[in-house]
Amino acid sequence: MKDTEMSEKPSWLDTVEKIASEAATTQGCYLYDIEFVGLGKGRTLRLFIDKDDAAGISIEDCSNVSKALNEVLDKDEDLIPGAQYTLEVSSPGLERHLVKPWHFQKAVGKKVYLKTSKSLESMGVTDKKWKAAKTVEDVIESADDQGVRFVINDVEIKIPYGMIEKAKVVFEVTKGQKK
């Protein structure tokens, strides 16, 4: 999630992200994330869509967003360089990756796993148990435009987004749920 990752995204992908966001919105969803991976004929454009309601994303939602996006992309075949790729549309899942600040803000109150590029001591943590740590797995206390904050056993840990290598929500089975 380093700042350099954001700036390395090709400009055409920004355009596709905008189009994908509009396609998702027209289908009653929102674009959670987008990625373009692979090489040659094995390239894949992945969209992760979501909804704010408890029902979540259905196969029909994915199909509708895929069709809406394909209509636009088929009209401008030069938009994506190389033009040969597979389009995948899915839910971000229960253990969704957290990349953008608003992902973390939506995950406040949830348990997450987070890996940092440097030790927590470099971010001002002085507690000897946490100084050398580069991972945190706990509930997010708060998140803003600068970073994420945890409070673990009265120890406050603030992590700026630029120091986060990867993060994801940790799915926990609560009492009464079937495994």
Verify that 105 and 77 share a domain, yes or no. no
Verify that 36 and 105 share a domain, yes or no. no
Please say which residue of 90, 111, 134 terminates a domain.
90
**Distance separating alpha carbons of residues 108 and 139, to the nearest angstrom:** 7
List the structure tokens of 154: 């009265």
Per-residue pLDDT of the chain (179 residues; tens, 9 = 90+): 544 444 466 688 899 999 999 999 999 999 999 999 988 778 899 999 999 877 789 999 999 999 999 998 888 877 887 768 889 999 999 999 999 999 999 999 999 999 999 999 999 889 999 999 999 999 999 999 999 999 998 999 999 999 999 999 999 887 765 65
- Domain count within the chain: 2
Residue 178 included in any domain: no
3-state per-residue secondary structure call for 89-145: EECCCCCCECCCHHHHHHCCCCEEEEEECCCHHHHCCCCCCCCCCCEEEEECCEECC
- Where in the sequence is the domain holding 62, given as residue range(s)? 3-90
